[in-house]
Amino acid sequence: MVKAVSRRTLLKSSASVAAGAAAAGVVSKASRTFAAPAVISQTGSNVTVNLWTSFGSGVNGDAQTAVIEGFQAANPGITINPTPYANYEEVANAIIAGLQVDEVPDVAVLSDVWWFTFYALQAIVDLNSLITADTKSDDYVQSLFSEYQRNGGQWAIPFARSTPLFYYNKTALDKAGLTTDIFAKWSDFKTAAPEFVSGGGGIKAAMSFGNAASYGAWVLHGPVWAFNGFYSDPDFNIKIAEAEAVAAGEFFRDFVSSGVGITSDDPAPDFNAGVAGAILASTGSIGSTKAAVGDTFEFGTAELPSELKFGCCTGGAGLSILAKASDEVKAAAFKYIEYATSTEVTTTWSQTTGYMPVRTSAIESEEEKTFLAANPNNAVAIGQLPKTQPQDSARVFIPGGDEIIGRGWENVLVNNTPAQDAFNEVKSNLDAAKVQILEQIQAIES
């Protein structure tokens, strides 16, 4: 049953919308066909499933269209009706608004920082009631699958999963006579940055950093770990104002204030235009970056640089079913989820977009091995996945946590505010914001 939710509770649970749509790059629809898995059968039913999604155009939008078309060809009695939004935040905020007037989708793409809000509102379904042996749950990459588990329930299935990835201008690197060794540690990169910029590759800055709306809190999460810092611990104790996280903040503040780094509302266009030599962006941007860069220059990807240790988090989105859907629609929606995350489809989806294959069988398939051998940028993303870890609770479980932390980073990088001052404010805001979610958790889990 859906929990009765007041307007006040909904508004308190909603973080402000963060802009940060994935890099565009409209290309023709993916030519590969998304094959129907054998476990999907034609049901002969006649049902429409409303899907709210962040993938509407460009490489990723075309790939999603291919998934939907493939599913409907295999299941002619089920119609998937997609409504695209600009980004994860717009999807989530539309659902929050819709819960007040009983107008929500049947299935939705929910990001790493949003599914938990709807779990706390009891607005999404425990998918254990729909999972069967045919789902082959053990075949999902368990580090991704288990991130949606809480209080004995499975609240989403991994779909468009990603990690931050280090993108660099290989043409500029080669012209400067440098190698990827400069990306081994953040301090190595900072030391080599002036030579990287002046090496004749046309770049104006070694790296571009984004603002809060460009997922700054996410891409800089791993670097905080690399300096032995944390945003928080699993019990919601806020750690971002402690010495280790502050040291990370000061390092990157100096990276920008020294003149070798720049800030931007969206670093992707800086990189795609050859202005910045490197950025941190989602693995799910590989396809759109390739389309945007074209033949302008050659780009490469690398694992995130280490410092005191390696640090990289998971991210991206899963598919959840809304509790207000009828039983018939829930069954049809889950059939779509099984299809969209099947071995065959996740393989092609991953190869087209850059998102992670969410099934072990896909990663281990000969087709995937052949593809990765021919596409080293994607291979780096897959190789980094086993080294990643789930994010600190402050960003993914506190409503608005991503925005609060992102604004702190924006103060450090854009406004040149000392990291201690900026992160003290972040801690204060997170401590205030966590009160409600802790109350909600206590109410539904006690």
- pLDDT tens, residue by residue, 104-124: 999 999 999 999 999 999 999
Q: How far apart are CA 190 and CA 376, in angstroms?
A: 25
pLDDT value of position 6: 37
pLDDT value of position 213: 84
User: Which architecture, in CATH terms, is 164-312+391-434?
Assistant: 3-Layer(aba) Sandwich (3.40)
pLDDT value of position 35: 45
Which pLDDT tens digit goes with each residue over 215-271?
A: 999 999 999 999 999 999 999 999 999 999 999 999 999 999 999 999 999 999 999
Please report, rounded to a whole number, the percentage of residues in the chain having pLDDT higher than 90. Answer: 88
> Would you list the domain boundaries of the chain?
17-162+316-364, 164-312+391-434
- Locate 66 and state its tokens: 């291919």
pLDDT value of position 180: 98
pLDDT, mean of residues 172-181: 98
pLDDT, mean of residues 136-158: 97
- Locate 75 and state its tokens: 């299941």
pLDDT, mean of residues 8-27: 34
Task: Give how far Cα 380 sits from Cα of 166, 259, 354, 388, Å.
Answer: 10, 29, 10, 13
Angle at 268 between CA 263 and CA 270, to 5 degrees: 60
Which of 249, 269, 204, 279 is CA-nearest to residue 412? 249
Mean pLDDT of the chain: 91
pLDDT, mean of residues 320-338: 98
CA 229 to chain centre: 21
pLDDT value of position 18: 33
Which of 281, 290, 273 is CA-nearest to residue 353? 290
Q: How far apart are CA 218 and CA 306, in angstroms?
A: 16
pLDDT value of position 446: 83
pLDDT band of 212, cuts 50, 70, 90? confident
pLDDT band of 14, cuts 50, 70, 90? very low
Which pLDDT tens digit goes with each residue over 44-102?
A: 459 999 999 999 999 999 999 999 999 999 999 999 999 999 999 999 999 999 999 99
Q: Are the C-beta atoms of 440 and 120 separated by less than 8 Å?
A: yes
pLDDT, mean of residues 420-442: 96
> Do the two domains 17-162+316-364 and 164-312+391-434 of this chain adopt the same fold?
yes
Residue 316 pLDDT exceeds 90: yes
pTM to 2 decimal places: 0.87
Q: Class assignment of domain 17-162+316-364? A: alpha beta
